[in-house]
């Protein structure tokens, strides 16, 4: 089971790096790149996005003609509830503790780093390579949004941030709006003068009952993920806050869904004689590729060379690819074998760790056009 990719993954996975606290793993990535003789640069966006690291960027000059490629992976994970002790059982890497493994997205980090090490050690020709490691992806793609994308010379790039078997190419991802909601009622003693109160929590509950939530159709979803309010059990709650989101691959459907959610909030506030405030923020924008697009064709060619059956899918989630596509670059998300991400059952196979290194090399080969 020994492999360079496995050893590096075990090392990185054991370093905690929840969103905003990525410093330790960033330092390891910087040291790795410098040990390869490269000169990585860390930008100053850490304070801007509330992270202990800035985005890490490094470039390798082309050795042959062809299509330069950039690769992006994020260094943060969702919050771990326990330490990470990676163990390998029957060719599968898991956490020995009841917590995330961190394959999202450290498996991608490993593929990028190990592929570049191989390129340099083996003198493999390439048409230009850029690596980008971002912060705070899990909480809104914040590092990627803060990065100065004009630094990228390549116009075609890849992220490996889809929890599925290698071979799946993501042709599109949705737009998302985040909705911050606050109901304002009137406090009163719940036992002595309840009729004088106006329950903000009751208003929120009615609003939730009126909303369409979950899967709306094949392109659209909605969710209310956080709710809090009130001050004590014996006080009619004078406030209640909710955090909701709506996603769709279709901008018109997204707008209609958000409006229907606002209508439900307004109705519920009126019935409960409360006030309601809403703040709506576009968190990321949708994109869509055709199978004939260059970035997709290169991916399909590389996957076939590595022996993976090629499939195409749409994603219900976002990745740093959303940011780069919004800014006019062509960035495709490829599945990399992660399973049960964001859960204590998360795992990845050693074969997929090694396979994604080979896929990265195959992408570089497919993009290169040897001189002559």
Active site (catalytic) residues: 76, 137
Secondary structure of 68-118 in HEC code, one letter for each residue: CEEEEEECCECCCCCCCCEEEECCEEEECCCCCCCHHHHHHHHHHHHHHHH
Backbone angles phi, psi at 169, to 5 degrees: -105, 125
Percentages helix, strand, coil for the chain, rounded to the nearest 5? 35, 30, 35
Distance, CA of 141 to CA of 320 (rounded, Å): 6
Distance, CA of 362 to CA of 238 (rounded, Å): 60
Nearest alpha carbon to residue 19 among 56, 49, 44: 49
Tally the C-alpha atoms within 13 A of residue 11's C-alpha that lie toward its C-beta. Answer: 15
Q: How many residues does the chain have?
A: 372
Nearest alpha carbon to residue 104 among 278, 256, 319: 319
């Amino acid at each position: 089971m020994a492999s360079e990719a496995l050893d590096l993954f075990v090392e990185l996975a054991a370093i905690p790096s929840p969103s905003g606290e990525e410093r330790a793993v960033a330092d390891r990535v910087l040291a790795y790149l410098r040990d390869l003789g490269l000169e990585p640069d860390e930008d100053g966006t850490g304070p801007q996005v509330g992270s202990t690291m800035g985005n890490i960027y490094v470039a390798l000059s082309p050795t042959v003609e062809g299509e330069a490629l950039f690769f992006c992976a994020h260094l943060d994970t969702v919050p771990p509830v326990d330490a990470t002790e990676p163990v390998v059982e029957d060719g599968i890497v898991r956490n020995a503790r009841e917590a995330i493994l961190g394959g999202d997205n450290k498996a991608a980090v490993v593929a990028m780093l190990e592929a570049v090490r191989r390129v340099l050690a083996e003198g493999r020709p390439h048409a230009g390579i850029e690596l980008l490691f971002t912060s705070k992806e899990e909480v809104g793609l914040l590092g990627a949004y803060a990065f100065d994308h004009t630094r990228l010379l390549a116009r075609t790039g890849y992220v490996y941030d889809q929890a599925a078997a290698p071979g799946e190419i993501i042709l599109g991802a949705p737009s998302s709006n985040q909705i911050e909601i606050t109901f304002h009622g009137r406090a009163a003693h719940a036992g002595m003068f309840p009729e004088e109160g106006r329950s903000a929590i009751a208003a929120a509950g009615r609003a939730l009952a009126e909303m369409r939530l979950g899967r709306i159709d094949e392109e659209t979803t909605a969710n209310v993920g956080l709710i809090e309010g009130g001050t004590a059990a014996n006080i009619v709650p004078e406030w209640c806050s909710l955090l909701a989101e709506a996603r769709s691959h279709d901008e018109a459907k997204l707008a209609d869904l958000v409006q229907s959610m606002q209508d439900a909030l307004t109705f519920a506030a009126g019935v409960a004689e409360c006030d309601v405030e809403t703040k709506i923020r576009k968190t990321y924008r949708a994109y869509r590729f055709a199978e004939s697009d260059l970035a997709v064709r290169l991916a399909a060619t590389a996957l076939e060379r590595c022996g993976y059956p090629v499939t195409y899918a749409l994603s219900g989630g976002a990745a740093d690819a959303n940011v780069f596509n919004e800014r006019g670059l062509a960035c495709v998300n490829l599945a990399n074998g992660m399973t049960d991400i964001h859960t204590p059952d998360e795992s990845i196979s050693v074969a997929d760790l090694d396979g994604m290194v080979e896929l990265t090399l195959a992408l570089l080969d497919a993009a290169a056009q040897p001189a002559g």
